[in-house]
Chains A and B, each alone.
Chain A
């Protein structure tokens, strides 16, 4: 069985990101920076109706705009559009301005449907306008029951009932979705802003009926994805068709506006939770009912729909008597997609809110209540470490008891990420040159998590070199196939693969050069003995070096202004484990990022639909608020290094518990529960009874 080295120079230490220099110099070429010879701009015409029958699309006038080289309709004949922003046609031209003019010149003959539903509650009603013909908006749902729930509730000493809701959250990576696609007689080359070069290749090949070998996808740098950028997308297929027609490369990047409508989001949730415990704090009975929307991704019997509107219930804590019913609701809005830790942040918010509400009713400290019911040993240990660092004991006070108009409060919550295991088919290769330089090539992509750095760190450790002596090439489907970057699986996929490549390389070097141990100071002498032909070695993911799952706990302290309703996060402590740490620096960055993205979910972010017009009302950064640098508190990160567990990913668990921790801190501060995210000033004031209730949109 292979094992990681125990004495390490780079693994588990802090190594600087290997591709930071081109990023700070402005030299990194992102998908949106690609300028292939003779490239054209591409743009998409989107539906202005939430539901319509498109009868015909006339591109003649658009084609006559000076500079326009190609124009296509998404499909032949009549078709339906089911959300505001669905793709109708696309154009390519020599300037952005020509394309803007051409979009205006496209004539769409449509029959708008006057009946549509963009609101979950309206879409659930009998007789609601149907999103999909012949299929109900609400899925039959899933029900399950264990134990005797009704009797168990009677045996409880305290029972709480709550209604907790979470909004549709938009991914909003800083680089929008898009690509440059060049279709020649040899095939297609696509420079895509993607988390999955292989899935984009397969998607383009499938949609355009080309051999997979005729499609090459390149992603040297990309500007964030968070789960929304796996497929070829309409923007990929349309760019390819425009390129074929124009016989030129077409760069088609979405606008920020497009990004909010059509390329994914996190489903909403509406959770009715009833939960009871014995006087000693033992959880005894749970009843949960949840629905949420995955936009047009839900409907029929599609389960939770794209992105998972069904959530793990009850979250984290085993309860002997449970009854759960869940369904997903289709609405006339863009489909959900995977979003960092799909279905976990909403599950955490509902369950962990109910946990605190029940602790209060039982008169127990919420942290002690968790330790009583959470069987996970790693998480229990993390709670102990975090509580000490955060000063839980000293800071905890009865809900609403803080003096003055600005009240402080504290809260905590736990995370689980049961996926995060490896993609076992991951492969890679290294080319070792006679001059001792070495290049690793893996068909994975670095979405900002530090994938290239992980490869360099593992390779340097195994070969006895320095990380800067390792050249890392990723983001090309011509390299051996690697995993998509999602579900916290990348690190656990590539680290064992690089280990295997290195082991094979050292064996081959020994066989070819006679140098018994080519590592470290022997490296250059051994490579020189290769003569004139570089050595190319292959490697695969191997068993025994990675595992899952990961846990984590987070603590938050907030200040709530009871006159304005404004919530300020003052301090966060995040304690996380991910097995063997590869690079503590990029790991810390990922945890900061998870916390901050979850803060946005807790306090600011919510897609707002207009019931009457069916449009997204906040498709921009002025009205869809992301956390800014002034909103971000001090975040103290504690990392548990557990080499014996092997490598585990961290991207997802880092974003799971913070919204619940903040929600609990707000409840602790003001003495009443704000049950809906985001916890806006209006919702705080409504919870305090100072203004009328605010509806979930």
Chain B
């Protein structure tokens, strides 16, 4: 922060803005402050959008969606309430439950924490995009086979986290599965079956330890 580079117009980002603020604090030079203010004004004049609706184009499950959204609309809100893709769920709207998990260029993200605007230009995959026709993905099949769901509200989020995990790491350990699902909550208490389902989707046989005693 002691050796700031001046932010050039057109390359203005939040990062350079913060760096600029650091400069101000350190140097406290009036001239620099004025220069920064002028720079900010210029950047804002070019970049400001909203508060009204603006055109937004999203690529979801391979299809282009052309929407008109206020800039403050999240990706989750855009999917659920402007595109009728209600697979991703809202459980907290603040990055704590994972029910809204979708893939952005193959990586799992909380769609409630991403503005729809920011998701433009990326490949978005929701739970609706996993099956090919009637053919469910391996993860979806395994969730059914191991009863890895109860009320099912958290299920799409878990399935997206697991899908991303298995793509990167086809034979995960139990700890790796738990790490990948650490951002997803389930209140029905389905976690043991989710663990079994991920192993099954990875082609690892796990026997249930449940025993039925016929009295």
Tell me if A637 and B191 are in contact (CB < 8 A).
Answer: no
- List B contacts of A585 (CB < 8 A): 147
Tell me if A221 and B77 are in contact (CB < 8 A).
Answer: no
Tell me if A223 and B212 are in contact (CB < 8 A).
Answer: no
Report the stretch among A77-85, A351-359, A430-438, A626-634 that lies at the interface. Answer: A626-634
CB distance from A410 to the nearest CB of B (A): 18
Closest to B154 in A: A174
| Interface hits, B84-113 → A, CB 8 Å | 84-94, 96-97, 99
- List A contacts of B11 (CB < 8 A): none
Bound together, the chains give a CA A640 to CA B192 distance in angstroms of: 20
Give the residue of A27, A95, A449, A639 whose beta carbon is less than 8 angstroms from that of B128.
A27
Bound together, the chains give a CA A636 to CA B147 distance in angstroms of: 16
| Interface hits, A84-103 → B, CB 8 Å | 95-97
| Interface hits, A573-595 → B, CB 8 Å | 577, 581, 584-586, 588-590, 592-595
- List B contacts of A255 (CB < 8 A): 93
- List B contacts of A588 (CB < 8 A): 147, 193, 208, 210
* Given contacts A25-B127, A97-B73, A174-B151, A639 and B212 within 8 Å (CB-CB): yes
Closest to B97 in A: A621
Interface size on B, residues (CB 8 A): 65
For B59-81 the 0/1 string (1 means CB < 8 A from A) is 00000000000101100010011
* Given contacts A23-B152, A23-B155, A448-B152, A626 and B185 within 8 Å (CB-CB): yes
- List A contacts of B99 (CB < 8 A): 174
Tell me if B91 and A23 are in contact (CB < 8 A).
Answer: no
Bound together, the chains give a CA A175 to CA B181 distance in angstroms of: 19
CB distance from B164 to the nearest CB of A (A): 15
For A12-43 the 0/1 string (1 means CB < 8 A from B) is 10001101110111111110110100000000
Interface centre among A16, A26, A592 (most CB of B within 10 A): A26
Tell me if B189 and A596 are in contact (CB < 8 A).
Answer: yes
- List B contacts of A636 (CB < 8 A): 209-211
* Given contacts A385-B213, A629-B194, A17 and B187 within 8 Å (CB-CB): no
Tell me if A25 and B87 are in contact (CB < 8 A).
Answer: yes
- List A contacts of B94 (CB < 8 A): 256, 620, 622
For A501-543 the 0/1 string (1 means CB < 8 A from B) is 0000000000000000000000000000000000000000000
Q: Is A373 an interface residue (CB 8 A)?
A: no
Tell me if A626 and B187 are in contact (CB < 8 A).
Answer: yes
Tell me if B210 and A584 are in contact (CB < 8 A).
Answer: yes
Tell me if B156 and A26 are in contact (CB < 8 A).
Answer: yes
Q: Is A71 an interface residue (CB 8 A)?
A: no
Bound together, the chains give a CA A253 to CA B91 distance in angstroms of: 11
Closest to B51 in A: A97
- List B contacts of A231 (CB < 8 A): none
* Given contacts A20-B143, A24-B144, A592 and B89 within 8 Å (CB-CB): no
Tell me if B182 and A628 are in contact (CB < 8 A).
Answer: yes
Tell me if B182 and A33 are in contact (CB < 8 A).
Answer: no
Tell me if B149 and A629 are in contact (CB < 8 A).
Answer: no
Tell me if A221 and B152 are in contact (CB < 8 A).
Answer: yes
CB distance from A401 to the nearest CB of B (A): 29
CB distance from B83 to the nearest CB of A (A): 11
- List B contacts of A96 (CB < 8 A): 77, 81
For B188-215 the 0/1 string (1 means CB < 8 A from A) is 1111111100000000000011111111
- List B contacts of A596 (CB < 8 A): 189, 191
Q: Is A597 an interface residue (CB 8 A)?
A: yes
Q: Is A222 an interface residue (CB 8 A)?
A: yes
- List A contacts of B178 (CB < 8 A): 629-630
Tell me if A629 and B209 are in contact (CB < 8 A).
Answer: no
* Given contacts A172-B187, A174-B91, A597-B189, A25 and B213 within 8 Å (CB-CB): no
Tell me if B144 and A175 are in contact (CB < 8 A).
Answer: no
Tell me if A589 and B213 are in contact (CB < 8 A).
Answer: no
Tell me if B214 and A174 are in contact (CB < 8 A).
Answer: no
- List B contacts of A584 (CB < 8 A): 210, 212
* Given contacts A25-B131, A26-B128, A174-B187, A641 and B212 within 8 Å (CB-CB): yes
| Interface hits, B111-155 → A, CB 8 Å | 126-128, 130-131, 136, 140, 143-145, 147, 149-155
Q: Is A638 an interface residue (CB 8 A)?
A: yes
Q: Is B186 an interface residue (CB 8 A)?
A: yes
Where the two chains meet, the residues of A that have a C-beta atom closer than 8 Å to any C-beta of B are: 12, 16-17, 19-21, 23-30, 32-33, 35, 95-97, 172-176, 221-224, 226, 253, 255-256, 385, 389, 447-450, 577, 581, 584-586, 588-590, 592-597, 620-622, 626-630, 632, 634-642
Where the two chains meet, the residues of B that have a C-beta atom closer than 8 Å to any C-beta of A are: 70, 72-73, 77, 80-81, 84-94, 96-97, 99, 126-128, 130-131, 136, 140, 143-145, 147, 149-156, 159, 177-179, 181-182, 184-195, 208-215
25 examples of A-B residue contacts, CB within 8 angstroms: A16-B145, A21-B144, A24-B140, A24-B149, A24-B155, A25-B130, A25-B140, A26-B127, A32-B86, A32-B90, A95-B70, A174-B97, A175-B91, A223-B152, A256-B91, A385-B213, A593-B150, A622-B94, A627-B189, A628-B181, A629-B182, A629-B191, A629-B194, A629-B195, A641-B214
Given contacts A24-B144, A26-B87, A628-B181, 5 further A-B contacts (CB under 8 A): A26-B86, A174-B185, A175-B89, A589-B147, A592-B191
